[in-house]
Structure 1
Amino acid sequence: MSGMLNYHRYGTGPTFVMQHGFLGGGGYFAPQMAALGHSFDIIAPDLPGFAGSNTQDAVNSIKAHSIAQLRLLDQLGIDKFNLLGHSMGGMVALQTALDYPDRVEKLVLYATNSSGNLPGRFETFDETAKKVESGDVNSISKYVTATWFTDYEKAPMFPFCLSAGTGATTEAVIGALNALKEWDVSKRLHELDIPILVISGDKDRSYAVDGLVQLTNTLKNAELCLLPNGAHCVHLEQADLFNATIAKFLLTR
């Protein structure tokens, strides 16, 4: 991979990396940047082939996404950082924390899990892949993104979220779906000793609550927070509560 990933950056203080998920973009963390930028130097990369990094070659493994993320941070001269990952980005974050534990100070696993086996997802990854292969990425993105909200037709942040993820290439989307199916670090969770917050909305249709509870209980030093009246993008549906929860975890624990 050549060049540098596109990224969004705002604020001053300790570095806080926020990693978007499948069909997303770093720009959808704008409400978090506005609220937390007075305490943190927030960096939100666009993963290879997604959003503003759509000129970068697509990759087909979670580890490759993690390597790309770390390469960007190296290019920016950043050694240690707090790390949040959303959905597939949570898997990337978990991979990074496992492979480079000396670099991640605190970890936020947002609406994610330690395996791509997601029995509670609104549809299988293969079903999503078939729709991508037979249609266009933009229409599939709208369909998938709609499931991230409790009621997307009434969600004021739905258009913003959809726009933030615009630009994903077909190759990146198919590569990500293949990566999700193959990825599993469940047997490595015991390696993590850093403070971890597992957080999601209580109405998430992508990652079942039971799986989040199991993930939290398996980790040594984790706490679980389920925010009310929010789905997969609770950081947009309940931004104030989400931001306050993240700030409390990072600043006081």
Structure 2
Amino acid sequence: MGCIRAGKGPVLVLVHGFLSGMAYWSKQIESLSKNFEVIAMDLPGYGGETQQIGPDSIADFAANIFEKLDCIGVKNFHLIGHSMGGMIAQEMALQAPNRVNRLVLYGTGPIGKLPGRFEPLEDSMTKVQQNGMIEAKHYTVESWFKKGSADLNFASGLNLAEKVSLQTYINGLQAMSNWSAMGRLEQIQSQTLIIWGDRDRSYIWLQPYTLWQEIKNTNLAVMPDCSHNAHLENELLFNQIVFDFLTSR
């Protein structure tokens, strides 16, 4: 399986989002592995696992990660989820509260239909079926950066997205659209940090605000002048925020 393990210390699991892969976390792996055993893995259908078809449910993604962690003998861990990966992380924290120590939900929310997104998920599914994936992937990845395609990380992000199959693309949108944590957030027991870039066009303020209000024992960090991929746009600030949260008493 596509998996990176780096560093020593408390285990920190990183879960990437839609059209992405574990390579998206390279700047976090380099920094956080100095104090943690960082584990990042490709979700089925993404990154180095594109020979598979990705699941069409968030619960199935969560089950896949638990299975992989069980295979390598990891029981308890800190958990970071980005975007769709943040939905997966919420599901994991709900399913196995005794396994997730501290939880970081980043650029994500509890409402899978993504209200206020740059375009509705249904429109994305229709467009990709009618016009193909090249254009859809380009403008989706472009929307994740404040500078759009001018961002230095855009090319590598697009390269990951281009490898995703049509069925995995559609399944991912369906997985998000059919999922919700509303009415369940108060069941999350982990001490939680919400991170949000204030220029995020995929998850509007309603999403992180709801997480912040509904999950007990929760902190909020808003990264100024950053978009959906704040961890790439300002990795120094992002990494410091995460480190401070995970090491605070």
Selected match of 2:102 from 106, 109, 123: 106
Report the 3-state secondary structure (helix = DSSP H, G, I; strand = E; otherwise coil) of the residue aligned with 1:42.
strand
Give CA deviations for 1:143-175 in whole Å, capped at 9, x if unaligned.
Answer: 201000011233112112223444212111111
Give CA deviations for 1:107-138 in whole Å, capped at 9, x if unaligned.
Answer: 00001111213221000101111222134434
With 80-89 and 38-47 compared, the bigger mean Cα shift is at 38-47
**Structure 1 residue ranges without an equivalent (≥5):** none
Report deviation, 1:197. 0.4
Q: Which residue of 1 aligns with 2:89?
A: 93
> Does residue 194 of structure 2 align to residue 210 of structure 1?
no
Q: Which residue of 2 aligns with 1:181?
A: 177
Would you say the 8 A contact 1:8–1:27 is kept in 2? no
Report deviation, 1:198. 0.4
Q: Which residue of 1 aligns with 2:230?
A: 234
Question: How far apart in 2 are the matches of 1:125 and 1:223?
Answer: 29
Question: How far apart in 1 are the matches of 2:124 and 2:3?
Answer: 27
Query: Structure 1: which amino acid aligns with 2:241?
Result: T
**Structure 2 residue ranges without an equivalent (≥5):** none
Report deviation, 1:78. 0.6
Would you say the 8 A contact 2:113–2:121 is kept in 1? no
Selected match of 1:148 from 135, 144, 149: 144
Report the 3-state secondary structure (helix = DSSP H, G, I; strand = E; otherwise coil) of the residue aligned with 2:195.
strand
Paired positions, count: 249
Report deviation, 1:222. 0.6
Would you say the 8 A contact 2:21–2:48 is kept in 1? yes
Report percent identity of matched pairs: 36
Question: How far apart in 2 are the matches of 1:204 and 1:223?
Answer: 19
Report deviation, 1:193. 2.0
Give CA deviations for 1:21-59 in whole Å, capped at 9, x if unaligned.
Answer: 111111110000111111111111111111211122321
Report the 3-state secondary structure (helix = DSSP H, G, I; strand = E; otherwise coil) of the residue aligned with 1:18.
strand
Selected match of 1:35 from 31, 34, 46: 31
TM-score by length of 1: 0.94
Would you say the 8 A contact 2:231–2:239 is kept in 1? yes
Aligned CA RMSD, in angstroms, stands at 1.3
Would you say the 8 A contact 2:149–2:155 is kept in 1? no
Selected match of 1:48 from 44, 47, 51: 44
